[in-house]
């Protein structure tokens, strides 16, 4: 998960405390964190989204503490919202942001506490905001479930994993 701003925003990075201040409404203008004078548009994920859980957990925020300007569902909606608002900041899957930026959307990631939010930084273990995707079975896995699990570990599955912009850890 990465913090994302409009590509025209000059802010390169934020501290965890600055992120908390922005998302709780204590800072409502970019000038309050070293940027240009412009109202901050806080883009927050809807309840029940796993990215919201990761964001809140990492920045030690309770759901009721966040003061959003806009509430979004999926990554695509978040990209469109941030791309359409130069003052916006939100959080989205790193892979989805990188893909959207390559495709021409005016969005980019923001460094957190001096660490770049990139797939490379995530893969090499430097970037701290991530969650593992897991497969769970009830009891012993059936032969069909075992075959699926093996498939997910294969090179053949890579195109599906990459198609959803998930980041695979180096093994």
CB 3 within 8 A of CB 90: yes
Same domain, 15 and 58: yes
Same domain, 113 and 84: yes
What local confidence, expressed as pLDDT, does residue 171 receive? Answer: 45
Tell the burial category of 153 from Cβ atoms under 10 Å away from its Cβ (0-12, 13-18, 19+). Answer: exposed
Give 103-115 pLDDT, tens digit per residue.
Answer: 999 999 999 999 9
End-to-end CA distance of the chain: 20
Three-state SS at 39: strand
Same domain, 87 and 152: no
What local confidence, expressed as pLDDT, does residue 121 receive? Answer: 87
Give 32-84 pLDDT, tens digit per residue.
Answer: 999 999 999 999 998 888 889 999 999 999 989 999 999 998 889 999 999 99
Where does 60-168 show beta strands of DSSP type E?
A: 70-72, 88-92, 107-109, 111-112
CB 72 within 8 A of CB 46: yes
**Number of structural domains in the chain:** 2
Same domain, 80 and 57: yes
Give 14-24 pLDDT, tens digit per residue.
Answer: 999 999 999 99
Same domain, 78 and 156: no
Same domain, 17 and 44: yes
Same domain, 43 and 66: yes
What is the DSSP secondary structure assignment for residue 94, as one 8-state letter? H
Same domain, 7 and 58: yes
User: Among 84, 102, 123, which residue terminates a domain?
Assistant: 123
What local confidence, expressed as pLDDT, does residue 168 receive? Answer: 57
Same domain, 146 and 108: no
CATH number at residue 82: 3.40.190.10
Please tell me the least confidently modeled range out of 89-93, 106-110, 130-134: 130-134
* Residue 154 belongs to domain spanning: 132-171
**Nearest to 91, CA basis, from 127, 59, 45:** 45
- How many Å apart are CA 95 and CA 27, to the nearest integer? 28
Helical packing angle, 75-83 and 94-102, nearest 10°: 50
Give 138-158 pLDDT, tens digit per residue.
Answer: 899 999 999 988 888 787 777
Given a cut of 70, whether residue 166 has pLDDT beyond it is: no
């Amino acid at each position: 998960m990465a913090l994302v701003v409009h590509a025209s925003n000059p802010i390169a990075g934020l501290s965890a405390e600055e992120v908390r201040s922005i998302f709780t409404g204590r800072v409502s203008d970019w000038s309050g964190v070293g940027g240009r004078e412009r109202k901050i548009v806080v883009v927050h994920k809807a309840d029940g989204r796993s990215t919201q859980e990761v964001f809140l957990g990492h920045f030690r925020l309770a759901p009721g503490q966040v003061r959003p300007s806009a509430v979004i569902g999926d990554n695509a909606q978040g990209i469109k919202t941030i791309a359409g608002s130069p003052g916006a900041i939100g959080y989205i899957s790193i892979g989805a942001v990188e893909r959207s930026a390559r495709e021409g959307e005016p969005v980019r990631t923001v460094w957190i506490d001096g660490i770049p939010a990139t797939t490379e930084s995530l893969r090499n273990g430097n970037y701290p905001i991530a969650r593992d995707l897991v497969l769970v079975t009830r009891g012993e896995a059936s032969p069909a479930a075992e075959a699926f699990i093996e498939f997910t570990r294969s090179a053949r599955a890579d195109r599906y994993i990459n198609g959803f912009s998930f980041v695979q850890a180096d093994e």
